[in-house]
Copies of this chain bind each other. A is one copy, B any other.
Amino acid sequence: MIIQLEKKVSDQQKQHILDVVKSIHYKATEVSTQFGKYLVCIGKQDFDIRLIGSLTGVRDVHRVSDSYKLVSRKWKVNYSSIDLGDGVIIGGDELSVMAGPCSIENEDQVQKIVTHLKENNIRIMRGGVFKPRSSPYAFRGLGIDGLKMFSSICRENGIKIITEVMQVSQIREMHDYVDVFQVGARNSQNFNLLDSLGEIDKPVLIKRGMSGTIDELLQSAEYIFSAGNEKLMLCERGIRTFETAYRNTFDINAIQVLKDKTHLPVIADPSHGVGIRDYVSKIALASAVAGADGVIYEVHEVPEEAASDGQQTLNFEESKFLCKQLEALKKLVL
């Protein structure tokens, strides 16, 4: 059960509500976010919901039977959207495009990609400075200095930044240079990181784990929301299956299931979702048709020379063509 509280609920009123919740043997967790105050109540007993609904200080009350609560559409039927400022909105009627290299490499690279983005009306740039790599001997990214350079060029050009955060201690140092924090697939159930990202007021994109279920992804989002941050979006990036003809199996079903179960925006990552350059664009288009609120893909001036993930990275021409196709698709009233 989710109890939405009035913004101006008094401590006394809240205490009375908590007492009533306790009296029906529910365990309440208080949640206070950028946008609202909630009591998330867990229990099993059946009761007359009007018992709660009639209390002073209660704005609304909803039964939510899902394992996740605040991210469920059971209480918030209308889809959420996230405002990054300067007219950049994720969710709602938008089809957001986020593009950029796997890894930030140097100023020249960032500058060229920024120019490409601007030419194609892309407002958000992706690019990793802290790179999770299977091998400890692989390139791990430029780190915080790379992020500062990345941010500086993007700010000058009105481009928003999404980049991966790998551990709690990075949040503070990255904070001012980032527009959207990305939680990578390998950290999808790094609960301490999720908790900490709940305590800040910056949007977060959570990638699904390699073999994470849809339910687990939603519960990971619940961690952040219940810690205070509603500015959340989810990302389908392919799952691990027996098939070896491509890198990951993009789960197109998940796009719809997520849009059905949660009010959060859903972004598709076709680059990791299939992992082979020739196939990336059509997965992007298919995701848009299936209902995704946006796509995030890898682009590089010369993919063959990219520091990482070149095999799944579009070149500028392919990226430009994809943007046109996405535009055409958006206009099609399906």
A residues within 8 Å of B by Cβ? 27, 29, 40, 42, 67-69, 132-137, 166-169, 186-187, 189-193, 195, 209-211, 213-216, 219, 222-223, 226-227, 239-246, 249-257, 260, 273-274, 278-279, 282-283, 285-287, 289-291, 325, 328-329, 332-334
Contact = CB atoms under 8 A, between A and B. Distances in A.
B239 A256 contact: no
A241 B244 contact: no
A256 B279 contact: yes
Contact of A290 (B69, B253, B286, B291): B286
Given A222-B136, A239-B241, A257-B245, A285 B274 contact: no
A135 B67 contact: yes
A108 B38 CA distance: 36
Contact of A286 (B216, B244, B278, B286): B286
Contact of A246 (B190, B239, B253): B253
- Number of this chain's copies in the complex: 4
Contact of A226 (B136, B189, B191, B332): B136
A190 B241 CA distance: 21
A183 to B, nearest CB: 12
Given A219-B134, A219-B135, A329-B332, A245 B213 contact: yes
B328 A286 contact: no
B282 A289 contact: yes
Nearest to A246: B253
A187 B132 CA distance: 12
Contacts of A254: 243, 245
A214 B245 contact: yes
A246 to B, nearest CB: 5
A274 B187 CA distance: 24
Given A189-B186, A190-B186, A329-B334, A283 B132 contact: no
B253 A283 contact: yes
B249 A189 contact: no
Given A260-B278, A273-B253, A334 B290 contact: no
Nearest to A186: B189
Contacts of A187: 190
A324 to B, nearest CB: 9
18 contacts: A29-B136, A67-B134, A68-B135, A134-B219, A135-B222, A166-B192, A167-B167, A167-B192, A167-B193, A168-B168, A169-B169, A187-B190, A240-B242, A241-B241, A253-B273, A260-B278, A260-B279, A286-B290
Contact of A168 (B68, B169, B256, B279): B169
A179 to B, nearest CB: 23
Given A257-B279, A291-B282, A134 B189 contact: yes
6 closest residue pairs by CB, A with B = A211-B211, A286-B286, A186-B189, A167-B192, A252-B252, A136-B223
A64 to B, nearest CB: 12
A180 to B, nearest CB: 20
A31 to B, nearest CB: 10
Q: Find the residue from A27, A168, A256 having the highest chain B CB count within 10 A.
A: A256
